[in-house]
């Protein structure tokens, strides 16, 4: 008998002895007066067992058959050992026709030691930032580096954009987390939904740079920007940096879910290439995410702004730099030289600064002021041949011995350290006098011995 039933039995005894009215007893037990009268009648026949529910110990009519439980636990143990109860229940229903609630399967997996229950989350002082009211007010942008193919293929990165108001997601698998790949995903987002008001990212080098200001930026009073930062400025989209990963929690939770659900879905789909992973992501996972894990915005009005005729995405979403036109009307860009067509030459073009755009498709466009100039790539100019020293004429050739065997001049005898004599030898030669029939050797002044009288 439970404590609740003991308390009821005590109230029923008081009502049976008329210490309480039936109305007071019903109020204390939280039941109706009619039910109190039924319990009193049962107590006179059965005693204290009247307060115990009569279905206790009986098998429920809604109990799941034992063979079905064994089948479900066996499938999870064999094919989904590292799946959670929620994801495992979905795969059992889709692939095996075993339809169970996630909580029922959770209890079975805990009993079979296939799942460890998590501890209750202790709420701290941190409060979650409320969602934006409109779809398109803020979109979070980030990249996740993870072993998405679990060693079956090459290393991949997942770039994602998640709307803050609805959690609607757009993602793409890439081989490198580079500026062109991020710009390609940005172009897909803009063509599908339009321009949001702001993007919320981390402080990675793709979005923030520490390089010094260039000349054009100094003249225009602009801070140094990356190519993505320049593109957002030309599109009229605000960039907001996050100071911590917790600040952009929407996209972090998107990656946390993807690293569980998406990885296991790619494993079951046997995806081992970039194309197969991208196909599963676009056809299966993203539709599932946008159908099940998104919420309705508080304000149904869209905050996305449409693209106008002034927003040339091919030009904006490109690598842009400024170059100076050479006197021969050529422009050098990354070790390549481009010749401006003769019919496009105009006043003020020579020596002017032009905008060079390297598009995502690999083409190069040159813009002067508001007009694009037709250009063609020039061939690499040949390097000049090495100049060779001319051979000396016969008249200039010397007939004497080679320079290596030539004897140095006599005035160098005292200064050549390799040929000079020690001091004692020089003094000895001075005292001996000049050789018979010969000329006295020249001796440096510093090495001559002083005279006896002290005169110089």
What does the pLDDT look like over 140-171, one tens digit per residue? 999 999 999 999 999 999 999 999 999 999 99
**pLDDT class for 399, splitting at 50, 70, 90?**
low
Lowest mean pLDDT among 50-54, 202-206, 302-306, 370-374: 50-54
Dihedral sign from CA coordinates of 318, 319, 325, 328 = negative
- Rounded mean pLDDT, 11-28: 89
What distance in Å separates the CA atoms of residue 4 and residue 53, rounded to the nearest whole number?
A: 12
pLDDT at 453 over 50: no
Specify the pLDDT at position 16: 87
Lowest mean pLDDT among 139-148, 170-179, 191-200, 328-337: 328-337
pLDDT at 409 over 60: no
- Listed by start position, the domains of the chain span 3-51, 66-111, 139-292, 318-377, 410-447
Specify the pLDDT at position 51: 84
Specify the pLDDT at position 397: 55
What does the pLDDT look like over 207-232, one tens digit per residue? 888 777 666 666 666 677 899 999 99
What does the pLDDT look like over 333-360, one tens digit per residue? 988 999 999 998 988 899 999 999 999 9
- Distances in whole angstroms, Cα of residue 264 to Cα of each of 82, 85, 261, 274: 9, 14, 5, 16
Between 40 and 403, the higher pLDDT residue: 40
Between 224 and 398, the higher pLDDT residue: 224
pLDDT at 432 over 80: no
What does the pLDDT look like over 232-248, one tens digit per residue? 999 999 999 998 888 88
Exposure string (b/e) for 142-171, b if CB count within 10 Å is 16 or more? bbbeeebbeeeeeebbbbbbbbbbbbbbbb
Lowest mean pLDDT among 3-7, 92-96, 102-106, 381-385: 381-385
Structure tokens at 364: 């190069």
Provide the Cα torsion 35, 36, 41, 44; round to 10°: 140
Q: How far is CA 5 from the centre of its chain?
A: 60
Specify the pLDDT at position 222: 67
End-to-end CA distance of the chain: 135
**pLDDT class for 50, splitting at 50, 70, 90?**
confident
What does the pLDDT look like over 52-91, one tens digit per residue? 887 787 888 888 889 999 999 999 999 999 999 999 999 9
CB 324 within 8 A of CB 356: no
Specify the pLDDT at position 448: 46
Mean pLDDT (the chain) is 84
**CATH number attached to the domain at 139-292:** 3.30.420.10
Specify the pLDDT at position 198: 95
What distance in Å separates the CA atoms of residue 49 and residue 1, rounded to the nearest whole number?
A: 9
Specify the pLDDT at position 446: 45
What distance in Å separates the CA atoms of residue 30 and residue 41, rounded to the nearest whole number?
A: 18
Specify the pLDDT at position 449: 44
What distance in Å separates the CA atoms of residue 242 and residue 205, rounded to the nearest whole number?
A: 13
What does the pLDDT look like over 110-138, one tens digit per residue? 999 998 887 766 555 556 788 999 999 99
pLDDT at 388 over 90: no
Specify the pLDDT at position 63: 85
pLDDT at 186 over 70: yes
Between 147 and 436, the higher pLDDT residue: 147
pLDDT at 443 over 80: no
List, in sequence order, every residue forming a beta bridge with 157; answer none if it has no partner.
145, 174
């Amino acid at each position: 008998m439970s404590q609740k039933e003991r308390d009821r039995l005590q109230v029923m005894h008081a009502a049976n002895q008329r210490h309480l009215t039936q109305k007071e007893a019903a109020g204390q037990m939280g039941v109706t007066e009619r039910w109190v009268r039924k319990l009193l009648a049962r107590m006179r026949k059965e005693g204290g067992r009247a307060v115990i529910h009569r279905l206790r110990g009986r098998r429920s009519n809604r109990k799941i058959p034992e063979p079905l439980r064994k089948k479900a636990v066996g499938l999870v143990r064999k094919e989904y050992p590292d799946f959670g109860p929620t994801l495992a229940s979905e795969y059992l229903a889709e692939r095996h026709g075993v339809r169970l609630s996630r909580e029922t399967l959770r209890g079975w997996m805990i009993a079979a030691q296939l799942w460890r229950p998590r501890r209750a989350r202790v709420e701290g002082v941190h409060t979650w930032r409320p969602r934006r009211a409109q779809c398109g007010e803020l979109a979070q942008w980030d990249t996740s580096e993870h072993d998405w193919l679990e060693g079956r293929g090459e290393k991949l990165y997942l770039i994602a954009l998640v709307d803050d108001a609805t959690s609607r997601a757009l993602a793409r698998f890439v081989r490198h987390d580079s500026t062109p790949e991020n710009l390609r995903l940005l172009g897909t987002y803009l063509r599908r939904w339009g321009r949001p008001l702001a993007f919320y990212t981390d402080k990675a080098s793709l979005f923030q740079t520490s390089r010094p200001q260039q000349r054009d930026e100094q003249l225009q009073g602009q801070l140094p920007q990356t190519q993505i930062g320049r593109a957002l400025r030309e599109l009229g989209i605000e960039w907001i940096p996050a100071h911590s990963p917790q600040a952009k929690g929407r996209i972090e939770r998107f990656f946390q879910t993807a690293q569980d659900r998406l990885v296991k879905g790619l494993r079951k789909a046997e995806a081992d290439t970039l194309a197969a992973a991208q196909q599963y992501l676009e056809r299966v996972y993203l539709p599932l995410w946008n159908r099940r894990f998104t919420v309705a915005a508080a304000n149904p009005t869209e905050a996305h702004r449409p693209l106008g005729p002034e927003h040339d995405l091919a030009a904006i979403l490109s690598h842009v730099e400024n170059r100076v036109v050479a006197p021969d009307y050529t422009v050098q860009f990354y070790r390549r030289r481009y010749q401006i067509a003769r019919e496009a030459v105009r006043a003020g073009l020579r020596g002017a600064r032009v905008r060079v755009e390297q598009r995502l498709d690999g083409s190069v466009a040159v813009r002067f002021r508001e007009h694009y100039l037709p250009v063609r790539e020039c061939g690499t100019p040949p390097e000049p041949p090495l100049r060779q020293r001319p051979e000396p004429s016969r008249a200039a050739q010397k007939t004497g011995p080679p320079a290596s065997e030539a004897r140095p001049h006599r005035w160098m005898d005292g200064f050549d350290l390799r040929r000079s004599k020690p001091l004692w030898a020089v003094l000895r030669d001075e005292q001996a006098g000049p050789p018979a029939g010969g000329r006295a050797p020249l001796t440096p002044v510093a090495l001559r011995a002083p005279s006896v009288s002290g005169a110089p």
